């Protein structure tokens, strides 16, 4: 079993999901022990986000991929609760519409890439385009691709295109944090049962959940190849244990803080004419307050 003190998939690695402990919780025995660490990370993340918004030199794109029931929604909700909503968005990508299928497969995702100064969560992403139609080949036919866009090498080619796309984003200041939430089959059964029993979760249940569950092995195979072929120096994958929701959120928050710290963010210095104007405004305002006091 892999010791998950390090979650990153090294470029060129060949991860096998069965070798990763989905119930791993590191040095924390339970959620109570982890609460202070999560609170501290979220507070630091809010401070770093403020500098990110002020500096406007980088953006952070957080991509969450997984099988059904891994807790992507809850993870985003827990972390985003402490962020400034003016500089944070979440994009939830469903099955492409008829109009979206008329575009290249990356088009709709590129629209959601954050501008510099912002943080965006992708709840599923363009990686669905090398997973879903691979497991359900009929979905590829809905994209009306020309002959050149199909063929036996389509998945390898698409993953190369995605690598190139992510390198392009990285070169333009978009930091990409890719997270695969690794859930066990047994825990997925428990969470799908929750959806049938709890009123607040029943709306999430879909017959497709059970259909996808029957294709577990096919999904695992597709995800493993995706992780192997698209973990790059510019945008490596991280395999996050997902059997315990609290630890998933903790691990994601920790990685986000590390990514933001690495940018060495600073508030922009005020120089030249702007500094002179600010000093004039300061003197004028102080004078007004002195006269009124």
> How do the pLDDT tens digits run along the chain, 293 residues long?
334 446 899 999 999 999 999 999 999 999 999 999 999 999 999 999 999 999 999 999 999 999 999 999 999 999 999 999 999 999 999 888 889 989 999 999 999 999 999 999 999 999 999 999 999 988 888 887 777 667 779 999 999 999 999 999 999 999 999 999 999 999 999 999 998 888 888 888 888 888 899 999 999 999 999 999 999 999 999 999 999 999 999 999 999 999 999 999 999 988 888 888 988 999 999 988 988 87
Burial of 291 (0-12, 13-18, 19+ CB in 10 A): exposed
pLDDT value at position 80?
97
Please check whether residue 143 lies inside any domain of the structure.
yes
Closest CA to 61 of 93, 39, 22: 93
Q: Are 212 and 219 in contact (CB under 8 A)?
A: yes
Report d(CA 28, CA 31) in Å as an integer: 7
Please check whether residue 283 lies inside any domain of the structure.
yes
Please check whether residue 266 lies inside any domain of the structure.
yes
Please check whether residue 277 lies inside any domain of the structure.
yes
Q: In the structure encoding, which two tokens stand for residue 105, read together? A: 């497969």
Please check whether residue 228 lies inside any domain of the structure.
yes
Domain count, the chain: 1
Report d(CA 197, CA 203) in Å as an integer: 11
Q: How many CB atoms lie within 10 A of CB 49?
A: 23
Residue 37, CA distances (Å) to 40, 233, 243 in order: 5, 28, 19
Q: How many CB atoms lie within 10 A of CB 14?
A: 11
pLDDT value at position 6?
65
Report d(CA 34, CA 42) in Å as an integer: 12
Q: Are 117 and 55 in contact (CB under 8 A)?
A: yes
- Determine which helix (DSSP H) or strand (DSSP E) holds 135, and give its type and residue range: helix 132-135
Please check whether residue 2 lies inside any domain of the structure.
no
Report d(CA 63, CA 127) in Å as an integer: 9
First-to-final CA distance of the chain: 71
CATH of the domain at 278: 3.40.50.300
Closest CA to 240 of 77, 74, 70, 76: 70
What range defines the domain where residue 230 resides?
Answer: 8-292
To the nearest 10 degrees (0 to 180), the angle between helices 216-230 and 154-171 is 50
Please check whether residue 72 lies inside any domain of the structure.
yes
To the nearest 10 degrees (0 to 180), the angle between helices 72-80 and 245-262 is 50
What are the backbone angles phi and psi of residue 198, rounded to the nearest 5°? -95, 125
Please check whether residue 3 lies inside any domain of the structure.
no
């Amino acid at each position: 079993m892999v010791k998950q003190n390090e979650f990153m998939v090294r470029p060129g690695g060949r991860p096998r999901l069965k070798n990763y402990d989905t119930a791993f919780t590191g040095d924390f025995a339970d959620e109570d022990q982890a609460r202070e660490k999560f609170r501290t990370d979220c507070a630091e993340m809010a401070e770093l986000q403020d500098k990110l918004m002020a500096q406007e030199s980088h953006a952070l794109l957080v991509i969450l991929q997984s099988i059904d029931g891994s807790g992507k929604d809850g993870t985003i909700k827990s972390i985003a609760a402490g962020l400034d909503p003016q500089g944070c968005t979440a994009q939830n990508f469903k099955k492409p519409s008829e109009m979206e299928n008329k575009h290249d497969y990356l088009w709709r995702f590129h629209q959601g890439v954050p501008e510099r100064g912002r943080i965006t969560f992708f709840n599923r992403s363009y990686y669905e385009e090398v997973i879903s139609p691979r497991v359900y080949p009929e979905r590829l036919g809905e994209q009306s691709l020309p002959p050149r866009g199909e063929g036996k090498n389509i998945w390898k080619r698409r993953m190369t295109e995605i690598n190139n796309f992510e390198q392009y984003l990285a070169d333009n200041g978009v930091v990409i944090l890719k997270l695969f939430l690794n859930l066990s089959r047994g825990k997925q059964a428990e969470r799908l049962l929750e959806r049938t029993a709890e009123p607040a979760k029943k709306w999430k249940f879909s017959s497709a959940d059970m259909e996808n569950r029957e294709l577990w092995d096919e999904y695992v195979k597709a995800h493993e190849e995706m992780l192997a072929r698209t973990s790059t120096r510019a945008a490596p994958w991280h395999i996050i244990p997902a059997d315990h929701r609290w630890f998933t959120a903790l691990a994601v928050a920790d990685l986000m803080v590390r990514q933001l710290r690495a940018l060495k963010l600073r508030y922009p210095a005020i120089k030249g004419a702007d500094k002179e104007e600010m000093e004039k405004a300061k003197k004028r305002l102080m004078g007004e307050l002195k006269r009124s006091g």
